[in-house]
Every structure is written in structure tokens, then in C-alpha cells.
Amino acid sequence: MKAFISVDLEGMPYLVIPGQLALKGILHDEARKIATKITLTVADELRKNGFEKVIIADSHGPMVNLLIDDLPEYVEIVRGFPRPLSMVAGAEGCDAALFLGYHAKFGTAKSTFDHTYSGGTVNKVEINGVTASEFLLNAYVAGELQVPVIAVAGEAQLIKDDVKRHAPWIETVALKHSLSRLSAKSPSMITIEKELREAVKNAVDKLKHGKAQTLVVRAPVKTRVTFLTSLYADGAELLPIVKRLDALRVEYTSASMIEAYKTFELLAIASMGLFRMLEDLR
């Protein structure tokens, strides 16, 4: 069997300031060690429970965060950005997916680093009328690839608001309980490792007994994006398939979730480019 792991940073334990998230951040090395330890713990438990190969998608920012020196031979890693299917690149053909370090969507109160894909430009993403977090976006894509998400570990509010609501069968581990956008309480790493291993065992058991499910979006897929300023909607509107709804909102219709996801990724990249252009003009 082959497993897929998508790894973000904002939902990792102990990470509470921007300086832990950026490549040049003063505590980014600490964040890399934490994320790598958690990822390899999960990979090891997957191996012990019958998975011969584990594909890891390094999925935060420029997507070069995990330390690669001690990767076991059964692991392959996907790094770099942009890339097809972004945070779920490499999930094709896998038997199960697990999401680590995931966080709540933009506008979630008292939730560390709440955002949806592009924190500086995107306010909201709706898929067929459902407001989506990165968890839900990526789970929808995995579902279209016929890959069930069997476990999610990350920020507690994401688990409560999205995972338990849309996919209550998924095994979860709360890596942090947020006190504010830049503060959180986390268990010890010893406790976290125990909980992760137990969650993986339970998730694999559900998978083997046919209890794992996929999240699938009905086609055609209508995607609505609300930006933080009208400038980003100005840029998005240049794509012929995109319809401008008002100052901040655009929408488009796709034949599949994968097509919708790729288009959204392009709009996010364009908006981030405009964000950088504004910074250069200051």
C-alpha cells in the first residue's frame, strides 16, 4: 500500500509567531525540526501498519520546509512551488491521505494564523456554496482522485469547525489549542507522538475495514473567491472564464474539482504577484 502525507506549518504545535513560518524567519529552523519530527513519526507508524511507500508533500509557503537528511528509504518527498495540485501533489494513485499541521480558514476567531491559501490576498473560497478551508479544498481533490483522507492533525478549531462537520469518520489529533491568532497551548511532544501513532493505527484499521470515505464534490463545480481588496479581483477578472460579481468577489464554473483547484491556484498566484508589486511600489 502507498500513503500520501500533506504537511503544512501553521497548525503545527508550538508555532505561534510569523518568524517561525518564513524561510528567513528567526525561528524557522525550530519550525522545520518540529514539522519533520511529526511527519516522520506518522510515516514510521504508517510503515508499521502495512504501508510500503509514503509520499510526503512539503506544502507550506515555497514548499521547502522539511529537513531531508534523515528520510527513510520508503519515503519520497515532493518539494517546490508552483506545482500541479499544489498541497496534494503526489496523491494520485495512493491508498490513503493524511494532512498534518493544518489550520483554520480565514476569519476564524482565536485560531493561530487563520487564513485560506493566500493569507495576504484571499478572504474566502466557496465550493458549490460551501465555505472551504485548505483541509476541505485538498480533501475534495483527494476525493476526486479516489483517495480517502484518513487522518488530520492540526489546530483544534479546524478540527471542530471543518473536519468533524464534513468528515466525522476521519481520525484527528489536536496539535494546538489556540488562545489568540498568535498564541496557543500545545501538549508535550511525547504526548503528541503517542496520540499520532494511535490515530494512525485507528485510521488504518478503518481503511482496512472499509470505513474510510472520500469527500467528493458534485460536478459542475462552482467556485466563488472573495479577495481582501478589489485589486486582486481586478487581476482575477482578466481570466476569461472568471465572472466578476462585485468589488471583491469573482466566480467560475469547472467541469471537475481538480480543474477548479488548478484555476484557484492560478488566481492565488496572480493575487500574490500583485501583492508583491504593491510592496515594491511603496
Average pLDDT, the chain: 97
CB distance 139 to 215 below 8 Å: yes
Whether 154 shows a pLDDT value over 90: the answer reads: yes
Predicted confidence band of residue 92 (pLDDT cuts 50, 70, 90): very high
What is the pLDDT, as a whole number, of residue 279? 84
What are the DSSP E strand ranges found in 208-248?
221-227, 243-244
Q: Is the peptide bond prior to 82 cis by the omega test (within 30 degrees of 0)?
A: yes
Domains of the chain: 2-104+133-208 (3.40.50.10780)
What gap in Å lies between CA 11 and CA 112, rounded to an integer? 7
142 contacts 159 by C-beta, under 8 angstroms = no
How far apart (Å, rounded) are the C-alpha atoms in residues 164 and 172? 9
DSSP letter at 20 equals: G
Band (282; pLDDT cuts 50, 70, 90): confident
Sign of CA dihedral 98, 138, 214, 175: positive
Average pLDDT, stretch 132-154? 98
Do 249 and 123 contact (CB within 8 A), yes or no?
A: no
Orientation angle between helical segments 257-281 and 134-144, nearest 10 degrees: 140
When pLDDT is cut at 50, 70 and 90, the band that residue 64 belongs to is: very high
Query: What is the spatial distance between Cα 99 and Cα 136, in angstroms, rounded to a whole number?
Result: 11
Cell numbers that stand for 22 in this block: 518564513
